[in-house]
A and B are shown apart, each in its own frame.
Chain A
């Protein structure tokens, strides 16, 4: 199966930008996703990007895709304490593969 990797932890100060990185191995992945999981809850889709795009912006969120390097990133501008959560990267080729999740802590 595909490997989707993320760093486990990230801390940022409130108001700064957060950048969460992800790498994947299957170059045939057609959709790439970012999910957010708040404590005690299931996963909520934040955004997704089709593999023929290299950038997608949605309000404070910017997704960058480097297909050559199989690298996906999620930038959160003006990070707020409510953004503290676990963020999962996922890729879909023939099935969904999820990363380990990055726990984002926002320091007031």
Chain B
């Protein structure tokens, strides 16, 4: 049974803080993804990675960076959190294009 875990379910940070969101998968998947989910906007791709140390920008990478030092772990970094980054963040992993497996999400509030 595939498991994708995210480091926190809920997180509250202050404007200007550096924020790390961690995602770990246990299925040796090559591909990992970070999305943000906002009401009425669906899921929007922030960054994805096809291999260790590789990253590709998605549709909304501004204000975010990522790190993939190990195959099982994909980190999303908010260098200086802002209130418009308050959102639900979803991590996913997959092998090939057939499906993605999602984590439970991290609800981030920036005050």
Q: Which of A6-54 contact B (CB under 8 A)?
A: 6, 8, 30-31, 33, 35, 40-45, 48
Most buried by A among B41, B42, B97: B42
Which A-chain residue is minimally distant from B100 (CB atoms)?
A96
Asked whether B105 lies within 8 Å of A99 as measured between CB atoms, the reply is: no
Number of contacting residues on A, CB 8 A?
24
Give A74 Cβ to nearest chain B Cβ, in Å. Answer: 15
Q: Does B70 count as interface, using CB distance less than 8 angstroms?
A: no
| Complex CA–CA separation, A66 to B105 (angstroms) | 32
Chain B residue numbers with a CB within 8 Å of A98 are 35, 42-44
| Complex CA–CA separation, A40 to B98 (angstroms) | 24
Give A101 Cβ to nearest chain B Cβ, in Å. Answer: 5
| Complex CA–CA separation, A42 to B4 (angstroms) | 10
Number of contacting residues on B, CB 8 A?
23
Asked whether A33 lies within 8 Å of B105 as measured between CB atoms, the reply is: no
Q: Does A92 count as interface, using CB distance less than 8 angstroms?
A: yes
Give A96 Cβ to nearest chain B Cβ, in Å. Answer: 7
Give A103 Cβ to nearest chain B Cβ, in Å. Answer: 10
Interface of A toward B, CB cutoff 8 Å: 1, 4, 6, 8, 30-31, 33, 35, 40-45, 48, 88, 92, 95-101
A48-B99, A88-B42, A100-B41 known, 17 other contacts, Cβ within 8 Å = A1-B59, A31-B97, A31-B98, A41-B104, A42-B90, A42-B104, A42-B105, A43-B43, A43-B92, A43-B100, A43-B102, A48-B98, A92-B97, A95-B45, A98-B42, A100-B40, A100-B42
